[in-house]
Each structure stands twice: as structure tokens, then as C-alpha cells.
Amino acid sequence: MKIKYWIKAFRLRTLPLSISSILMAFSLANINFSLETTVLLLAIVTTVFLQILSNLANDYGDGIKGSDVNRVGEPRMVSAGFISESQMLVGVIIFSILSFISGSYLLYFVFGFADLIYSLLFLSLGLFSIWGAIKYTMGKNPYGYSGYGDLFVFIFFGLLGVFGSYFLFTKTLEPIAISGALICGCLSVCVLNMNNMRDYYSDKKAGKITLVVKKGIKWAANYQLVLISIAIISYVSVFLYTINYWLFIGLIPVAILLTNVKTALNFNENSELDGELKKIALSTFAIAIILFFSIS
């Protein structure tokens, strides 16, 4: 069993998107609060573990269901036979444990034993996140096969990712966190939507009922336009709230996002969409980094 196959299974290119929610929350919280960077680092570690867990579970779930047989893009390790089903399942278990340990330590560092109610609440949310990472494609009724993937991605990358992290950083919530949740949530859904547009025919053949399979390619392209428009408007609202002219640098990734909309509306072959996933994910990360260095 070669380590390179596990590194591919981790799908490292997906990590910047998951980290974006944490950086977004930290940057917006830093507008009015003096923050502890240790919490930021612990939150990032926990998020990375959860994202890798999600990637391994997705590889395992799609692999045993046969959904990756005719997929476009990079091969998945289980379906390609590079990692066995039993080995991948062990990987899922290991990263579930790592996510739980890291998340528990994060909560202890933030709340200790003084805020027991908050600790239990966030522990429940953490367990929900682990469940969500696994249940996307694994089990008898995975929500990713029933058209609910978009909703859960928005919840995990937008609401929990930004709102949850903002509260961990500040122990309060402010309206500006809504803008951050919409930016990260909508753009994360954009990545999933583009993935599902690319895999439309293979998903339909495998019985994977994504929102794109339910609604069709044309609907999905217009959906992409709406999501990116909401994210851009939310970014503008952050600028209006801070009046920080360094945020004009964000026009670069915004322009890249607009080219994605053009591609989504005018592509000819589904394979053309594969590179668009990285484009959206890195644009989201760039926006988070710009906010981080402009505000922090």
C-alpha cells in the first residue's frame, strides 16, 4: 500500500476551501475583537481532519456504490483499486477519531469546564459534522444521493464553518458574520454544483440523484450564477462595513468567479468543467486570505 495513494485520497486541493471558512470567521471577528491565534490554529487543524475524513468517506461510499466508474477527472482510490474498501474504511475510522480528539481539545481550550452548556452544544455540533462528513455518500441512505448535498455543504461550510468559528473566537455573534457565511457557504456550494454538473451523466447512470440530476444542466448553470452573485454582494457588504480599501484586491478573485459563470453558461463538454472546481475553491481561499491580511 503506497503512501502516494493515500495522499491522493486525502485530496489536498480541497483543503484551502475548508480552511477558508475559519479564516473568514477569524478576519471578520478581528474587526471588533482582539483574538487568540491558538484558537485559530486548533480550528484549522480540526477542519483539516474533518475535510480529509469527508474525502475518504466520499471515496469509500462512491467506490462501493460504483458511482466513480465513469467519472470525469482524477480517479478515486477505491474504484481504481489502489486502496481496498477495508483499508479505506480504517482510514475513515482513524480520521473520525482524530477529528473528535482535535475538536474536543479545541472546545476545552475555548470553554474549559466553566461554560459547560456551550461545550456540550459545540460538542454536539462537532459530532454532527463528523456524521455529515461520513453520511454524504456512506450508508444506506446517503444525503448526497438524495439531492441534499447542497444544503448540507452550505450548513457545514457557511453556517457552522463561519458562524460556529466566529462564536468560538468571540463568544458572541454579530451581523457581519452573515456576510462571511454567505460568501463561504455559497461558493462552497458552487464547487459542489460544478462537480455535479461535470458528473451529470455518470451520476445519472449510477442512480446518484444530485440537485443537478433532479433539475438539469441549464437550471444548474443559472443556479451557479445566483450563488456567485450572492457571494459577490456579500463581499461588497464587508467592504461597506469596513471601508478598507485593501479589499479592492478582492476584485481579482471576483473577476475569476465571473469567468466561471461564463463557462457554466456556455460550456460544450462536461470535461471542460473539471478545472472550474479548482478555480472556485482557490478564489474562495484568495478572498479569505485577502480579508485575513487586510483586517487582521
For 189-223, the pLDDT digits (tens) are: 999 999 999 989 888 888 889 999 999 999 999 99
CA distance 77 to 166: 35
CA 127 to chain centre: 17
CA distance 166 to 184: 13
- Under DSSP, the state recorded for 136 is T
Mean residue pLDDT of the chain comes to 92
| All cell numbers assigned to 156 | 457545514
* Total domains present in the chain: 1
pLDDT value at 1 more than 60:
no
SS3 state of residue 67: coil
pLDDT at 206: 80
CA distance 57 to 60: 5
CA distance 208 to 146: 7
What pLDDT, in 10s, does the model give residues 240-262? Answer: 999 999 999 999 999 999 999 99
Neighbouring C-beta atoms of residue 71, cutoff 10 Å: 19
What pLDDT, in 10s, does the model give residues 119-130? Answer: 999 999 999 999
Whole domain around residue 177: which residue ranges?
3-295
* Over residues 145-165, mean pLDDT: 94
pLDDT at 73: 63
| All cell numbers assigned to 178 | 452573515
pLDDT at 72: 61
Identify the CA nearest to 133 among candidates 145, 143, 120.
Answer: 143
- Under DSSP, the state recorded for 76 is P
- Under DSSP, the state recorded for 160 is I
Integer CA distances (angstroms), 248 to 27, 228, 239, 245, 258, in order: 16, 17, 8, 6, 16
Enter the pTM of the model: 0.92
Contacts of 273 (CB under 8 A, 6+ apart): 194, 197, 198, 263, 264, 267
* Over residues 33-62, mean pLDDT: 93
Q: Which residue has the cell 485559530?
A: 40
- Under DSSP, the state recorded for 238 is H
Cβ-in-10-Å burial (0-12, 13-18, 19+) of 81 comes to exposed
Neighbouring C-beta atoms of residue 70, cutoff 10 Å: 13
